Structure formats: C-alpha cells, structure tokens
Homo-oligomer: A and B are copies of this chain.
Amino acid sequence: MPPAKKPAARPYHHGDLRRAVLTAALDVIAVDGPAALSLRDLARRAGVSHAAPAHHFKDRTGLLTAIAAEGFGLLAATLADASDLKDAGVRYVRFAREHPAHFQVMFTPQLLRADDLELATARALAADALRTAVSAVRPDDLGIDARLAGVAAWSLAHGFATLLLGHNLDGPVGDKDPEEVFRTLAAMLFRTGGKPDGPRS
C-alpha cells in the first residue's frame, strides 16, 4: 500500500485553515448575520478541533476584525480604478452586493477591535481611494466644497447599499437593476446628466 496516498484522512495540519475559516464565516454572515457566527461551528465545518480557529484569529472579535480589514482592502482596490465620483459610487454599491458579509462587518464597529493595525491600515487605504475620487469633482460644479460633495456621495451610496442589503428597497426598486437605479440617483445629486431623462428646462 502506497503510504503517499495521503487521502482526505485529515492531516494534522489543515493546509489553509485561516482562509477556510474566513470563507465559512463569510458564508454564515451573508445568510444569517454576524450574530449567528460561532467559532465552534466554523471549526466543525473546516473539520478541525473546536479551538483551532482561535490560533489564527485569537477570538471572535479577531475573526471579525480580520474580515473587516480584508473588506476595506477589497473596497480600496475596487475604488482605485474608478473614473469619477459617480463611478466610485456605482462601484461602492456593487461591492456591497458582491461582498455583503464584508460590508456588514466593516460598518459594525461594535464587533471590531478598534485599535487593530491591519484594520486601520486597510481603512486608511479605502479612505484614500475615496478621497481621490472626490478630488476629481470640479469644485465649482455645484458651488460647494469637495469635502461636502464627498460626504454626500458617500452617504447616498452607503445608504442605498445598506437599504438594498436589508431588503428595504424591494418594493420601490423591484426587479430593476440596482446599479442602474443608483446611476439615476447619482445623476440627481450631481446634475451632470447620467440618464437620458426627460425635458431639461
């Protein structure tokens, strides 16, 4: 018998337990929210002992903090190649839909270790990307300063994404493509026509 037949007979070392736990956690959170997360359950899913995850994340808060940091990294990358502020908003909404678990955890500070270095770094990265997108707005476009334009755009995108994920827009938006709807909203905020809309006085 070939001893090299290293079967699924769970080797002592999982190989990539950290990623496995993260992925499983994202699944759970996307469906049932962060409150439903159980380290022991994640350990079972990964086929390891109940205390194994703690070695990678220290504790529950550590796991959630790692998820948030990953999320801010992904968001920063997504926003990095936005063409303008409106595009950044569209990307923001898309990110929330494609990574609902990350998004939820990123903006629930109570669940995170605020002083975590990785988290702070990733968050700063995302903030920079947002600032860059904001700076592309012509300041005289609306007679307002860029900082407020950024807050407005962020609020609109964040609110839309949040309400969308919470199924609060199922009625009004219905089966329409959310990104397209958001484009219309963004066009309302920044007058620059975004949708071939009706009569412009």
Contact = CB atoms under 8 A, between A and B. Distances in A.
Interface of A: 32-36, 107-111, 140, 142-144, 147-152, 154-163, 166-169, 172-173, 181, 184-185, 188-189, 191, 197-200
A166 B35 contact: no
Contact of A109 (B161, B166, B169, B189): B166
Nearest to A34: B35
A7 B165 CA distance: 50
Question: What copy number does this chain have within its complex?
Answer: 2
B148 A184 contact: yes
A110 B150 contact: no
- The majority secondary structure among interface residues of chain A is helix
Given A151-B173, A158-B163, A107 B168 contact: yes
Given A142-B197, A152-B189, A162-B162, 8 more contacts: A35-B110, A109-B166, A144-B184, A151-B172, A151-B185, A152-B156, A155-B159, A158-B159
B143 A198 contact: yes
Contacts of A191: 191
A172 B150 CA distance: 9
